[in-house]
Amino acid sequence: MIWQRFLPCILFAAKAMSYAPEELAEAAPMNFEVPENRYIVEFETSFADAQDDLGNQNLQFSVSNHYESSAFLGMSIQIHNPNEFSLDDVLSLPSVRNVWQASYVTLDFKSDKSASPQWSPHSITGVDTVHDKAIFGEGIRVAVVDSGLDIHHEAFQHLKIEGYDFTADPQNPQTTFEDSVGHGTFVSSIIVGLSNDMKGVAPGASLKMYKVFGKSATTTDDIILAALLKAYSESPDVISLSLGSDRGYPSMPISIVASRIAETIPVVFAAGNSGRKGPFHASSGASGNGVIAVASVESTQHASWSATLKSSSGEKLTFDYIGNDGSKIATDFVFEVEYIGNACAIPASFDSNAGKIVMGIRGTCKNSEIENAIRSNHYSGSIMFVSPGEMHTPKFESHDKIFGLTTNSVRSWLKRELNDNNEISISFAQEDTHGAIAKIDGSAGQISAFTSWGPTFHQDFYPHIAAPGGNVFGAHLGGGYSISSGTSFACPYIAGVIALYLSEHGRVEPQTLRRKIINSGSLLSRAYSSGYIDYIKTKTDLSKYAPLIQQGNGLVNVESMWNLTTNILSEPYFLLNDTDNRISSFKISFANESPEQVTYRIRHREMDVVNTCDSTKRYVSSYWPEFVDSRPQVEILETSLVLEAGSKGSVSVQVRAPLTIDKAKAPVFQGVIEIMGSNGDEFTVPFIGSEFSAKEWTPITQQPLLLIRDKSGLRKIAEEEKLSFEPLRTPSLFYSIRYASELYSVDLVEELFDVAQIQLPLLSSTKNYLGPIRAFAPQSGSSIAFPIVFSPISAGPTFVQPQSFSNGTAIPSGRYKFLCRALKIFGKPSNINDWQFFLTDSFTVALSQSENHQFATGRMIKGKNNFRFKRDEETPLLSAEQFLVEAEIEERAARKSNNVLRLRRSLTSISGALSGFTNDIQFSNDASSSKPYALLSLLMYVLTWTF
């Protein structure tokens, strides 16, 4: 094949690979949507210069947002004539610095309504010790970018909260910011909430809401950017953003702007909830330089409710239970109790069991089996017994029945009363307060399984610190409280900690404060969570540390942070990078700011290696990755250091990769340098290194496959077969993006296109090159316009179904191939060695009469940089080859007459750094006549997939 002859683009693996049939059968359609024709533009100079330059480009656009800030000067625009200009033209203007395709951001939020608990997570972080000193964040202003806030909720009645709503008109935000989603209300209560039932981290601080989500949990990053810049302009003391996507590229616009703001204001992001996907799922925004990315830790308590068993002997037992979804059993009815040995073995009964509650051991069956037995035997529900270590929040589907868990100690009392032939009844307290049951399973106080893992695609340390976020309580939209989980709630916890610290210590340089938070963290043990029956069971290994690329530098330790008199002057962590960019030594610098001499002892805490991928096709390992009992070779040159009061010193550390390591599995080695002072100061400095070449861990796994899906399933396309873009005649292109690529594209090329002759940039004038395509995504029912920038990664093959050129115009009849190309991480778009190129097999497109209509009424002209169609009612339908011949003839004639056609390339290049490589076929005829057919074709396609 051609790609095998193209030496600079050889894959990481030496041998060719192929997809197994089961991989193709299980392949999911690609689902990657972006706001159509919306772009974020950054200017070099002024608005006036840029708008003059854009006007000279005949660009038809409306402005969605103006960004005028020292952190970012530019605007987001909606393009109205995408087929008639190129972003390459815009990027060539001296007034333009960069351009990005706008993207969607969706909240991951679900809460279970309940009343508030008489518990708090502050004891495990040390926040309670600060509250004991009557420090609550007074005088500190916190900015929250989220979904709004329920200003009528009791948790906020002690504050006058202001804010803006950017969802209707980001250029002129409204001053009302009511929450329609609930996420912002919950987040805000963790920072400033205060009532009889809950206390936030910094209830004395003031909060301003910058609403970016409307009635849905999805928004766009250009709206977030407007809110973030507005917050920055008002100079808050800390900014909290519990949002993002798992495309952790530091070159995304939110990441860039957050990095700039973090130089003067602390910026805190949620690390993300993609932990089940494994390493390399850092979140956008949170991957910025200098920000704080926060992981989640599980709570140490369960919220519980009260119930009472009453015996005919007169004895009573009041006990705590955990209700279905954590909710109270809301009934004042008194039920008869029927005891059985095991709730998984409820016997068939023909009696009337209405008003009866079954009580028995939980057993090992599925929730659905218990539900079916309860329903078929007409019981009102079941309260089940488990050991204290198995207490969890039950999740039963039947909310019209009663379900709950309690401990085996209740079973002992019940059996004793029943042995005396007493009858037992049960009632449920209806008060709106409840208590707490100690959580003693392996997850208590450990890192949450859902927390997104690092490192970033650029091998940066990620996440940075952890805070309570698993099974936490917060204000519920509309009143009351609810329980929810996510790094979205760990993020505001850290924002609250910052508010507390600044309230007591005054102004602190943001990066100094960031180092203090990270380096005072407490490392957590390794906790592996797996599905068990119908809940998550966690096994904890106290002899091993959780990986740094999961926990960061551990749980925030407020007491240590407050008491630390040593000021860390160097970076809060050290990056040894991948093998192409290896750093083998680093220096930890710090100052003794205590009033006395301090002797520091320095040692290395060892950690296991994490293998982040498999060794064959090198897909990123999903949760739980493989650990290797192998240690980096660490030499600390100064194991003891004496510093006088007010003096500075440093420690030199040299690190080499472990000796026993399998580079094919992309291992990440890690460790922590612990520094302990004689005055009680103690802090840690983590490091990570990647023992592989990130650049050679190429994005595309193997040769993409072009297949057809018919009634018999997937098969190869026959040589003589003619394809179109109708149901059962549309090809499916299977490929995998296993590692990061800042630009990935599927392009249409003529059959004679030769990869070995590629010259960059790829233009439409490139021989036999036609341009990027648009594909249909069956999963979402939407289309995907290539190229894709900041590509997400996949854990296996995915597929798209080509429909048209990227700008939406139809592909004419002819013989073609698809060109799949991906830019390697750290790659330069101008360097051909930094790309992967693959060609599919040839295929024939033969359009139906209706599809050919637009070609029958136009003739194609090939110009300097692109194709387009010119209206000519008398021009007959031509083949693709005839189009090219005619285009060349017309181009020569135009040159002779000096009538140079101004032809514009398509709207496909999305990043300034990636300019000039993504061009398209453009058409100037009105395509509106094809819209009814396109809609009918889409409907037929959806029906085909449905049935």
- pLDDT category of residue 921 using cuts at 50, 70 and 90: very low
Q: How many residues does the chain have?
A: 947
Other CB atoms within 10 A of residue 443 CB? 25
For 670-716, write each residue's pLDDT tens digit. Answer: 999 999 999 999 999 999 999 999 999 999 988 899 988 777 788 88
Could you confirm whether 930 is annotated as catalytic? no
Whole-angstrom Cα distance, residue 188 to residue 208? 9
Could you confirm whether 183 is annotated as catalytic? yes
β-bridge partners, 537? 530
| SS3 at position 259 | helix
What is residue 389's predicted lDDT score, i.e. its pLDDT? 76
What is residue 102's predicted lDDT score, i.e. its pLDDT? 87
475 neighbors 156 (Cβ within 8 angstroms):
yes
Closest C-alpha to 51, from 91, 85, 96: 96
79 neighbors 907 (Cβ within 8 angstroms):
yes
The DSSP call for residue 586 is E
- pLDDT category of residue 932 using cuts at 50, 70 and 90: very low
Tokens of 266: 């602390």
Q: Do the bridges between strand 206-211 and strand 141-146 make them parallel or antiparallel, or are there none, so unpaired?
A: parallel
Overall average pLDDT of the 452-474 stretch? 94
pLDDT beyond 60 at 259? yes
Tokens of 31: 């689902």
Whole-angstrom Cα distance, residue 504 to residue 202? 12
pLDDT beyond 80 at 119? no
The DSSP call for residue 896 is H
pLDDT beyond 50 at 198? yes
Which helix (H) or strand (E) segment is 47 a member of?
A: helix 47-56
Active-site position among 488, 621, 724, 736: 488
Whole-angstrom Cα distance, residue 359 to residue 343? 7
Tokens of 791: 């590509």
Give me the residue label for tokens 């803006």.
164
For 874-903, write each residue's pLDDT tens digit. Answer: 333 333 333 333 434 444 443 343 333 332
pLDDT beyond 90 at 299? no
Active-site position among 183, 281, 464, 476: 183
Other CB atoms within 10 A of residue 895 CB? 12
pTM (2 d.p.)? 0.80
Other CB atoms within 10 A of residue 779 CB? 12
840 neighbors 831 (Cβ within 8 angstroms):
no
Distances (CA, A) of 737 to 368, 454, 824: 37, 18, 11
Closest C-alpha to 67, from 30, 97, 93, 106: 97
Could you confirm whether 830 is annotated as catalytic? no
Percent of the chain whose pLDDT exceeds 90: 54
Give me the residue label for tokens 């026959």.
718
370 contact partners, CB below 8 Å, separation of at least 6:
343, 344, 346, 363, 382, 384, 396, 403
Q: Do the bridges between strand 61-68 and strand 38-43 make them parallel or antiparallel, or are there none, so unpaired?
A: unpaired
- pLDDT category of residue 868 using cuts at 50, 70 and 90: very low
DSSP 336-360: EEEEEEEGGGPPP--S--TTEEEEE
Overall average pLDDT of the 98-118 stretch? 70
Of the listed ranges 13-27, 196-210, 346-360, 491-505, the one predicted with least confidence: 13-27
Instruction: Show the beta-strand stretches assigned E in 595-660.
Output: 598-606, 609-611, 626-628, 633-636, 640-643, 648-656
411 neighbors 237 (Cβ within 8 angstroms):
no
Overall average pLDDT of the 559-565 stretch? 95
Whole-angstrom Cα distance, residue 63 to residue 54? 12
Whole-angstrom Cα distance, residue 101 to residue 751? 31
Give me the residue label for tokens 């003794």.
592
813 neighbors 846 (Cβ within 8 angstroms):
yes
pLDDT beyond 90 at 377? yes
Other CB atoms within 10 A of residue 822 CB? 27
What is residue 922's predicted lDDT score, i.e. its pLDDT? 31
Active-site position among 108, 146, 320, 441: 146
